[in-house]
Every structure is written in C-alpha cells, then in structure tokens.
Chain A
Amino acid sequence: MTLLRGEKLALVRGGRLLFEELNLSLEPGEALHVTGPNGSGKSSLIRLVAGLLKPAAGRIERAAAALADEGLALDHELPLRRALAFWRGPHLADALTAFDLDRLDQVPVRLLSTGQAKRARLARVMASGAPLWLLDEPLNGLDRKGAKQLAAAICAHRDKGGAVLAASHLPMAGEWRMLELGS
C-alpha cells in the first residue's frame, strides 16, 4: 500500500516553474528528505503534497497526512493541552510525552518559546495518527534535545509503517532517501 504517489508533477508559482516531471513515491516505513537551495520549491512541494497547492501538471494520490509547517495553528490564549486537543489527535498524551511537553501543558500557547512552539507543532503531527507526515523545516528552532526527540518519533513512526516527507536544509538523523530540487 503506497502512502504517497505523485506522477509527473509540475508546479508554477508566481509565473515561475519550480519543478516539472517530478515523480514521488513513499511506501510504509520510508522517509524522503527534500533538499535544495532557498527558493527551489521545498516548502511548495510539501504544500502541494498536503493538497494546499494545485499542481500545474501531474497528479497526486496520498493517504491521510499531517503537516507541520511554519503556521502554529493553536489558539494563543488557551493552555497548550487544550489548544492541541482541538485538533482531536487520538494519541495526544503520547505525543506530549514524546516531545517533553507534559510540564508545559497548562502554559498558554502565547508564552511558548520558539523551540517549544516547534515541538508543539510536531506533537500535533504525531498525535494525529496519520500515516503520512509532512514536515517543513522540522529542525528549525529545535535544540539538540528536541532534534533527538524528533528523530526518535520519526523512527517509531516508520517502524509502525508510517512514512515521512521532510523538507530541510539541515541533515536529518537516520536513513533517508534524498531528493534534491533545483539541481
């Protein structure tokens, strides 16, 4: 069962062709690391796979996905746990523990630091139980401990038959297939 299949994808943004004839596929347990210079369309590819952008050509099929990008999408006045609970993730308790957010769960979202907010986004992805994770620059803002927690979460997700598509200009821990855009 393929979790993501994209065939002959092309994406145009602002009149500029970012990529074309791009083929993507992710099987359970696989992870794909998208790299490339700034402006090569890494984030756009993530949004395209998420269904938030339409391809200029080609087609995409994917399983249920969860996205962590720059949008925090949590109500700023609510305590972290209640803000995350709005998204109805079935594994919220595990996700809070995995990203060491248990101690922060009563803290209002607006008081979280950059790294804590990043972990909250990743915790939402993990809590969702979706088989396909879409991570846009997941290491930005994370300290070393946070990066380790992320690597452990990704590893556990892949062991359970999930797949990960990550766009990052930083090296990711573990075994990844690489896809370089703009080359």
Chain B
Amino acid sequence: MTGALAWREAKRGLHGATWLPVAFFLLVATIVPFAIGPDARLLARIGGGALWIAALTAALLPIERLIEPDRADGVLDQLALTGMAEEAIGAAKIVGHWLTFGPLLLIAAVPASFLVGLDGAALGRSLIALAVGTPALAALAVGVAALTTGLPRAGSLAGLLLMPIAVPLVIFGAAATGDGESSALKLEAAVALLTVAGAPFMTGAAIRASRT
C-alpha cells in the first residue's frame, strides 16, 4: 500500500499544479537580477543564496494540496483502516511529493543559475546542493502540511512554520553553493538526512492529532 500511495501522490501531482512551484522558482530567480542590478560579480556572490530563497518559497506553494484534501475527503481514515501506519502514510507522501517537486526544480535550477550569474563550477555546486536539499524541502512541506491540516488559513500558517525550520538547511545549502572548499555540503547533507528521517514521524503524529 505504501508504494501505491507514493505512486498515487506522484500521479496526482503531475495532474495538478506541478508546474506552479517550478514556475515560481524561475520567476524569483528572474527577478533577482532586476532587483540587484546587472553587476555580474555581485550577482554571482549572492546568487547561491538567492536560489535557495527561491527554492524555499517554491516549496511553500504546494503545501495546501499535500494533506488537507485527503483529510477532508476521508482518505487518511481509509488508509488507517487498511492497517497502514500514519508514519508510513507520511513517508509515502514525502516520496510521492519529491518525485514531482525535486527533479523539476533541479531542471529549472539550470536556467535559474545562469540568471543569477552562476556558471561553470558554481553551477555544478548549486545543482548538487539543491539535489541534496530538495528531499528535505519536500519532507518539510509534507510535515508542515500535516501540522496545519484542518486549521483555518492553513496556507499562511504553514509558511510561518516552515521557514524557521528550514533555516539550517538554507544556511548550509547556500554556503555549499558558494564555496566548494568548505564542509558546508556535508553539513547540508546531515541536516537534510535528519529532516527526511524525522519528517514521517512528525507527519504521522500530526495526522493522528488532526483526527476529531
């Protein structure tokens, strides 16, 4: 059932507004040079950080469709009746969400990197840092979606919740993009691993708590 649920999530993502976060990501990356000005050296210095801000805000967009429709429609209850643990539901949702969110964001990161003045080695570093970071962003999105499900104005609340939790990821992710010599990438990978490992438990507990 876990595999079937992950596959369903991915398919539903593709039917739905998969392109929205990616388009948003590209749009933010496009706006950066307009806001900062055309100075290529300045852009390249802040480019990594700008990409991460774009990725983080893009990760917020799909939150409302990750858990809430399934809670309201009884899907989560029916899954529990099949004997599936809420943690497994969380893990399946994270995998399914990442499948539509991660790869597309990475593809979009190539033009986005050029837009913010990252090329050559910096482009490679930004792609690796984002590749390591997107599973954590997907996991956080699902976890926060579960925490806010059923609440009024859940979308805005989710943003307020997700951004602070994502701070360590952004620090190390942006640092890994900017500097290949430091151990930022390893630290980013550690934070991402911890997030991905912990998020299913957070999601599971939140789903149980949302039952009334």
- List chain A residues, Cβ under 8 A from B78: 67, 71, 73, 87, 124
B181 at the interface (CB under 8 A from A): no
Give CA–CA (A75, B9) in the complex, Å: 11
CB distance from A162 to the nearest CB of B (A): 15
CB distance from B120 to the nearest CB of A (A): 44
A66 at the interface (CB under 8 A from B): yes
Residue total for B at the interface (Cβ-Cβ under 8 A) = 18
Chain A 46-78 residues near chain B, CB threshold 8 A: 47, 50-53, 64-67, 69-75, 77
A88 at the interface (CB under 8 A from B): yes
- List chain B residues, Cβ under 8 A from A88: 1, 4, 82
B15 touches A67 (CB 8 A): no
CB distance from A10 to the nearest CB of B (A): 17
Give CA–CA (A52, B1) in the complex, Å: 19
Chain A 82-128 residues near chain B, CB threshold 8 A: 86-88, 124
A87 touches B12 (CB 8 A): no
A75 touches B77 (CB 8 A): no
CB distance from B81 to the nearest CB of A (A): 5
Task: Known contacts A52-B211, A53-B211, A72-B74; decide if A67 and B4 are in contact (CB<8 Å).
Answer: no
- List chain B residues, Cβ under 8 A from A87: 78, 82
B211 touches A67 (CB 8 A): no
B160 at the interface (CB under 8 A from A): no
B81 touches A72 (CB 8 A): no
B81 touches A86 (CB 8 A): no
- List chain B residues, Cβ under 8 A from A52: 77, 80, 211
Among A50, A66, A73, residue most surrounded by chain B Cβ atoms (within 10 Å): A73
Task: Known contacts A71-B73, A75-B12; decide if A50 and B4 are in contact (CB<8 Å).
Answer: no
Q: How large is the interface on A (under 10, 10 to 19, 20 to 34, 35 or more residues)?
A: 20 to 34
Among A47, A50, A65, A86, residue most surrounded by chain B Cβ atoms (within 10 Å): A86
B65 at the interface (CB under 8 A from A): no
- List chain B residues, Cβ under 8 A from A51: 80-81
Task: Known contacts A52-B211, A70-B74, A88-B1; decide if A65 and B81 are in contact (CB<8 Å).
Answer: yes
Task: Known contacts A75-B12, A77-B15; decide if A67 and B75 are in contact (CB<8 Å).
Answer: no
Task: Known contacts A52-B211, A87-B82; decide if A71 and B77 are in contact (CB<8 Å).
Answer: yes
CB distance from B167 to the nearest CB of A (A): 35
A66 touches B74 (CB 8 A): no
- List chain B residues, Cβ under 8 A from A86: 4, 8
Give CA–CA (A71, B82) in the complex, Å: 15
A73 touches B80 (CB 8 A): no
A67 touches B73 (CB 8 A): no
Give CA–CA (A124, B165) in the complex, Å: 40
Q: List 23 A-B contacts (CB under 8 A).
A: A50-B81, A51-B80, A51-B81, A52-B77, A52-B80, A52-B211, A53-B211, A66-B81, A67-B81, A69-B74, A69-B77, A71-B72, A71-B75, A72-B73, A72-B74, A73-B74, A73-B77, A73-B78, A74-B73, A77-B15, A87-B78, A87-B82, A88-B82
Residues of B that sit less than 8 Å from A by CB? 1, 4, 8, 12, 15, 70, 72-75, 77-78, 80-83, 211-212
The 10 closest A-B pairs by CB, nearest first: A71-B74, A73-B74, A73-B78, A73-B75, A67-B81, A52-B211, A73-B73, A52-B77, A71-B73, A72-B73
